[in-house]
Amino acid sequence: MSKIKLDDRMSAVASLVRHGKRVADIGTDHAYLPVWLLEQGKISSAIAGDIADGPCLAARNTVSMYGMKGKVEVRLGSGLKVLKAGEAECIAIAGMGASTMIEIFEADMPLAVEAKRLVLQPMAGAASLRKWLTQNGWHIVAEDLVEDGRHLYEIMAVERGESQAYSEAVWEIGPQLIEAKHPLLAKQFAKQINGYKKLLTNMGKSEQARASEKYLAWEKLVQELEALADACNCK
């Protein structure tokens, strides 16, 4: 049986999982991530959780096909409710929106807090996720960007600890991406700036919208992002 191949997005997620840790893959779908991590000898065991029967069945098929029975336990359930205290040193969640991830953590904070590392790949709302995590006792230790066609995926790893305060612009871009001068940093700036400019253009058609707090806040954010892009030589 040939080994599992991960796409670039999931490879980036896998790269942020620390060696030797028991991983809980939440929203596992086909359980490709935990099986790949086991094949590489990066982890000792895993829990693959999903809220729906279909993905759990697919995950069990993957686990069986690649000879990982006994090493990956597939569990049906919502979010972290598939876990017991102390079961997972690392929690990985990929492919969900930031608001869904936050809801999952808020529903079971003791389980989230006891994990040594969270590895997260939000499909949208990365800035709000960064902000929520640091306001709730985590700090960002690593970030990555993956380009796939028109998509630019953001991946982050966080651990428990105090975080410094960041500006709204830094939340949008990613502090570790800026610190590391990521090769795709200029594209990250362009994505965020152009996205907010598009929103402002649409809102600008209404005089009432132009006077709103949201419009003024986004206008200020674009200015901050452009200034930060200049400072990072990313314009």
CATH number of 8-165: 3.40.50.150
For CA atoms 127, 162, 9, 87, the dihedral sign is negative
Domain ranges in the chain?
A: 8-165, 166-235
Judge whether 23 and 90 are in contact, CB under 8 Å: yes
Global pTM value: 0.95
Cα 35 from Cα 40, distance rounded (Å): 9
Helix (H, G, I), strand (E, B) or coil at 59: helix
Tens of pLDDT along the chain (235 residues) come to 568 999 999 999 999 999 987 999 999 989 999 999 999 999 999 999 999 999 999 999 999 999 999 999 999 999 999 999 999 999 999 999 999 999 999 999 999 999 999 999 999 999 999 999 999 999 999 999 999 988 999 999 999 999 888 999 999 999 999 999 999 999 999 999 999 999 999 888 888 888 889 999 999 999 999 999 999 998 7
Check residue 234 and give its pLDDT.
86
Judge whether 118 and 90 are in contact, CB under 8 Å: yes
Check residue 207 and give its pLDDT.
80
Check residue 206 and give its pLDDT.
81
Contacts 24+ apart (CB under 8 A), 146-151: 146/8, 146/9, 146/11, 146/12, 147/8, 147/184, 147/187, 148/7, 148/8, 148/9
